[in-house]
Amino acid sequence: MKTISEESLPISITSVMGKLEDRVRRGDIPGQRSFSTGFPALDRRIAGGIRQGDLLLLGGAEGAGKTTFAFQLARNIASAKECIVLYFCYEHSEEDLLLRLLSMESAVQGPLGDVDGLRLSDMRTRLWQASGTPGGLEGALLQDTQGRRALGRINEYADHFRVMKASASLTDTDSIRDIVQETRRETGRDVLVVVDYLQKVPLQVANATEDDRIGRITENLKELALSLAVPVIAIVASDKQGLQSRRLRSYHLRGSSSLLYEADVILIMNEKNRIVARQAVNMTAVKDAQMANWVVFSIEKNRAGRDLVDFQLRKLFAYGLFDPSGDAVPEPLVDERVYTD
């Protein structure tokens, strides 16, 4: 007969209450903290932010700005300096991410919505111009207001934001777990994880289908979030049907059955001008062009509150960011299973 250790047996509610009381008095309540995303329209709809132990999945149509949004969200959380943000990127190098960040932090909006800053398209030129000069890139950036603004903002939270060019053959969920634990030991701080993107995470399983592999990775990320009490945000790719669909939905995500089950929050991005119900809107060429500057975010699963709601954010892709001040979508959308509030 197999011996069962005492630690693996169920415990009484009295014991649970005692353990919880001890942790409350020590101020040790992992899994209860939440971190503001820096996007008020999202925070209001997910009970103030993403919580420890949560898995948030972000899907989107091609070109909708998934990496832009995830990276800006990571930056927002890092800038609050309440935790260490680990950004694992399987597609862009650390240097590329830094150039994105410099452009983002250089931007400032005027009262009419106009933006002044260093465009992403100019950053590579700046880099080459600084090559071989005594002051390097930092010296070149310090020569103008936009560059000084970017460096000053980044310096305020740089130690709280860590990026990594992840390997599609080496950086698996076990590696991510090890890095989270080492970061926590080193800093003594809470940690938040961003994975860009989920389908690139390696997993060696014999004879597994693509859906099986994605399902196992999703389960591993959720288990990591729960066991280490860290929020995990992961970008998810669409399947072929989703790419051809007018409006992307959560069921269009690759490996959707496991994704839908494991996730605490699922956020889907669509180009606004593609999903507005044109028969209900007096559409003109001008209005169509204006709508092309917006992305609609649909919360299709939300364990912390109401789901099937959406909001919109304006693209500022020239500077690698979204205007964070967006809110509800006033126009009706195609396939109205999702409602504005």
22-58 residue pLDDT tens? 878 877 665 578 999 999 999 999 999 999 999 999 9
Query: In the chain, what are the helix, strand and coil shares in percent, each to the nearest 5?
Result: 45, 20, 35
CB 126 within 8 A of CB 138: no
- 183-187, 216-220, 239-243: the lowest-pLDDT one: 239-243
Residue 304: burial class (beta carbons within 10 Å; 0-12, 13-18, 19+): middle
pLDDT number for residue 339:
41
pLDDT number for residue 29:
65
pLDDT number for residue 196:
96
113 is written with which tokens? 């919505």
Share of the chain above pLDDT 90, in %: 67
246 has pLDDT over 70: yes
- 180-194, 242-256, 276-290: the lowest-pLDDT one: 276-290
Average pLDDT over residues 211-235: 95
338 has pLDDT over 60: no
pLDDT number for residue 242:
78
pLDDT number for residue 13:
87
pLDDT number for residue 66:
97
341 has pLDDT over 50: no
119-164 residue pLDDT tens? 999 898 889 989 999 999 999 999 999 999 999 999 999 999 999 9
Please, what are the domains in the chain? 32-323 (3.40.50.300)
- The pTM of the full predicted model, rounded to 2 decimals, is 0.90
pLDDT number for residue 256:
67
Q: pLDDT-derived band of residue 287, with 50, 70 and 90 as boundaries?
A: confident
Share of the chain above pLDDT 70, in %: 94
pLDDT number for residue 247:
92
pLDDT number for residue 1:
57
Residue 212 and residue 165: Cα distance in Å, rounded? 25
Angle at 254 between CA 250 and CA 259, to 5 degrees: 60
Residue 201 and residue 217: Cα distance in Å, rounded? 7
Using CA atoms of 114, 284, 59, 80 in order, give the dihedral in degrees to the nearest 10. Answer: 20
pLDDT number for residue 305:
87
pLDDT number for residue 31:
57
- Residue bearing the bigger pLDDT, 257 or 28: 257
79-122 residue pLDDT tens? 999 999 999 999 999 999 999 999 999 999 988 889 999 999 98
pLDDT number for residue 340:
44
pLDDT number for residue 336:
45
pLDDT number for residue 141:
94
pLDDT number for residue 2:
59
Please tell me what DSSP assigns to residue 49: S
CB 211 within 8 A of CB 217: no
288-309 residue pLDDT tens? 888 999 999 999 999 988 888 9
pLDDT number for residue 211:
85
